[in-house]
Chains A and B, each alone.
Chain A
Amino acid sequence: MGAMKLWLTADAPDSRWQAQAGQIYAISRSFARNPLAMLGAVIVGLLVLVAMFAPWLAPYSPTGQNLSMRLMPPSAENWLGTDELGRDILSRIIHGSRITLLIVVMVAVISAPLGLLIGAIAGYFGGWTDRVLMAVTDVFLSLPKLIMALAFVAALGAGLQNAIIAIAVTAWPAYARIARAETLTFRNSEFIAAVQLQGASNMRIIGLHVLPLCMSSTIIRVTLDMAGIILTAAGLGFLGLGAQPPLPEWGAMISRGRSFILDQWWVATMPGLAIIIISLGFCFLGDGLRDVLDPRQRDGR
């Protein structure tokens, strides 16, 4: 144990591998000292586990109706109560975690690389390329995200897939801005000039040398944006524009519970609490990652 720690915290690492391992060790140590960040990591980790093992964790079927058990309050059999068709709300929330995770991952997978690439290209080439790309980015940035997503869904048609596309289309500009700002800081540094002199193509430089350096600030931003993405997706679901019934999407569940909010409060309240817990988890995790990976940005958002 002691030798391992010495090896990890060495002042002069013998290999690149040792240096990287040491860096990861230092980052995870300071991350572990931040209780809120750890709480966030635990919440997000639980979301992933619950989504993976949903069929085994859920006590009942998420779509199985039982009309003799309609609108039952939380009890020993149905921990979070039942909805208007007698479906177990806990089981629906557990299965709904898969949809939430799917949306979050898909939006990140579509919008982050797109934004990164646009930002890196703009920052690396500069000049007119930069001006045109950033003008487009700024137009998207200065428009209301939720409204734009709504308009896109209106044109594409309701559904989970279209909701994901609509959210991704409105999410990328922030990453383009970040990637461009990062790229500009080392655009003229010597290591870039060195690879250029070795004859590397522009695409190779962007892909292998520019993009990796933009990663950490993008990861922070994506994590911080997750809460907003979850809320937008839930909003689309609430309006009936996201995942369609009988899929147990949390926003759609709140919408169904709306008619019963005065007497059977649990139908709408429980999925809302699930949304809040997961969103908070991503907020905590993002804040923690920022403190660890990028201390410059503290307190700003």
Chain B
Amino acid sequence: MSALTPDGDLRRTHRLLGGAGIVARFGVVTAMTFLGLLAITFFIGRVVPIDPVVAVVGDRASQEVYDATFLEMGLDRPLIQQFAIYVRDVVTGDFGMSLSTGRPVMEDLIRYFPATFEMATFGILIGVVLGVPMGVVAAAHAGSWLDQIIRVLGLLGYAVPAFWMGLVALAVFYAGLGWSAGPGRLDIFYDGLVPTVTGILTVDAILAGDWVILRNALSHLVLPSAILGFFSLAYIARMTRSFMLEQLQQEFVTTARVKGASERAVIWKHAFYPIRVQLITVIGLSYAVLLEGSVMVEIVFSWPGIGNYLTTALLTADMNAVLGATILIGAVFIVINRTSDVLYHIFDPRSH
């Protein structure tokens, strides 16, 4: 019947229905993966340590605190029941208390996450804005010296330790050339002047209309996000190049050339158009990886984000905080990956 009524309405309905089905499937798969993540963190927190209570309260806790935590964690119950309680706690946002800050882990995470989010988002913007054109140019001039340089840059993205690059960048651009600000999010005398609304300093500064602080925040942000951007750029450029090479060999590109389209139009209009959908997945994946990479960069730049929180917790054996941060980063990672999968299916006409 649909062949007889080729009007847009029906097709749109199909598209929406397809979209709804995908979203439902997405929900189930995401929930399963999240449960898997919780199973792993549960395993790490309860099964791997010799004494899980000591892992949470530390070895200097009194007997009363020890006993109370023992019962609170439900360690007197069967393992499967413990896991059910654990899932319930996590889903309701209860990650337990942090040993080192003395606050609920959830509260800490909310406080530290915006800084990480800000750095990672600026990083992916840099990676996309530079990486996609670089990949396109490399493909358009495949085999040239330009292509070789971009290829080597891409391989360096797999071979350079992020923390080392951060140290060298601080030594060169901050201490040596003075082009950027040093570690931290703001110079110390600007600290606490802008009211916290979103926790994202650049946004808060704009909301407060304070351009001096915005400038200062940006000059602190530029170095760590540029480093994160470099790593996503390496991957994005490499993938863009291989997608473009594939398109440039297609017959419709030859047709466009034969019809006299300019080389610029052939590359940017005809060949680039179809790969946008593939790029969604690539950018999603590199955003997720970048969020993970920010852990190491945060330490080098004393950036008060999740990465710094996580490593402080690691070194003080603060198990609730470690697992809370792991769950948060893991959950964001899963959601980004799944969302880009869904977007891919919705926007790719071939999947209908």
Contacts and interface: CB of A to CB of B under 8 A. Distances in A.
A155 B320 CA distance: 11
B167 A148 contact: no
A155 B56 CA distance: 11
Contacts of A70: none
B164 A142 contact: no
A187 interface: no
Nearest to B325: A147
Does more than half of chain B's interface fall in helix, strand or loop, or is it mixed?
Answer: helix
A154 B41 CA distance: 11
B314 A150 contact: yes
A300 B239 CA distance: 7
A234 interface: yes
B16 interface: no
Contacts of B41: 151
B280 to A, nearest CB: 17
A109 to B, nearest CB: 22
A257 B317 CA distance: 24
Contacts of B314: 150, 153-154, 239, 241
B40 A155 contact: no
Contacts of B156: 276, 280
B33 A138 contact: yes
Given A139-B37, A155-B45, A261-B167, A238 B337 contact: no
Interface of A: 135-136, 138-140, 142-148, 150-156, 227-228, 231, 234-235, 238-241, 251, 254, 257-258, 261-262, 265, 268-269, 272, 275-276, 279-280, 283-284, 299-301
B292 A147 contact: yes
A201 to B, nearest CB: 32
Does more than half of chain A's interface fall in helix, strand or loop, or is it mixed?
Answer: helix
Given A147-B295, A150-B314, A279-B160, 18 more contacts: A139-B37, A140-B40, A142-B33, A143-B330, A144-B288, A144-B289, A147-B292, A151-B41, A151-B323, A235-B161, A254-B163, A261-B171, A268-B167, A268-B168, A276-B156, A280-B156, A283-B158, A299-B241
Given A261-B167, A283-B155, A151 B326 contact: yes
B158 A228 contact: yes
B299 interface: yes
Nearest to A251: B161
Contacts of A148: 40, 326, 330
A279 B239 CA distance: 20
Interface residues of B, number: 56
Nearest to B46: A155
B329 A144 contact: yes
A103 to B, nearest CB: 14
Contacts of B275: none
A250 B334 CA distance: 32
B140 to A, nearest CB: 15
B317 A154 contact: yes
A256 B317 CA distance: 21
21 contacts: A136-B36, A139-B32, A139-B40, A143-B330, A144-B329, A144-B330, A146-B295, A148-B40, A154-B44, A154-B314, A156-B48, A228-B158, A235-B163, A238-B163, A254-B161, A254-B163, A261-B175, A275-B160, A279-B159, A280-B156, A283-B158
B242 interface: yes
Contacts, number: 145
Given A147-B292, A147-B295, A154-B44, A142 B171 contact: no
B175 A299 contact: no
A145 B285 CA distance: 13
Interface string B233-244: 000001101100
B36 A272 contact: no
B261 to A, nearest CB: 25
B105 interface: no
Given A153-B314, A235-B296, A272 B323 contact: no
A240 B330 contact: no
B58 to A, nearest CB: 13
B329 A147 contact: yes
B80 to A, nearest CB: 17
A287 to B, nearest CB: 8
B164 A143 contact: no
Contact of A265 (B155, B171, B292): B171
Contacts of B158: 227-228, 279, 283
B242 A147 contact: no
B48 A142 contact: no
Nearest to B332: A144
Interface string B155-179: 1101111111001101100010000
Most central of B167, B175, B315 by chain A CB within 10 Å: B167
Given A142-B33, A142-B333, A154-B322, A234 B45 contact: no
A143 B241 CA distance: 27
A208 to B, nearest CB: 33
Given A154-B314, A262-B171, A275-B164, A143 B333 contact: yes
A279 B160 CA distance: 8
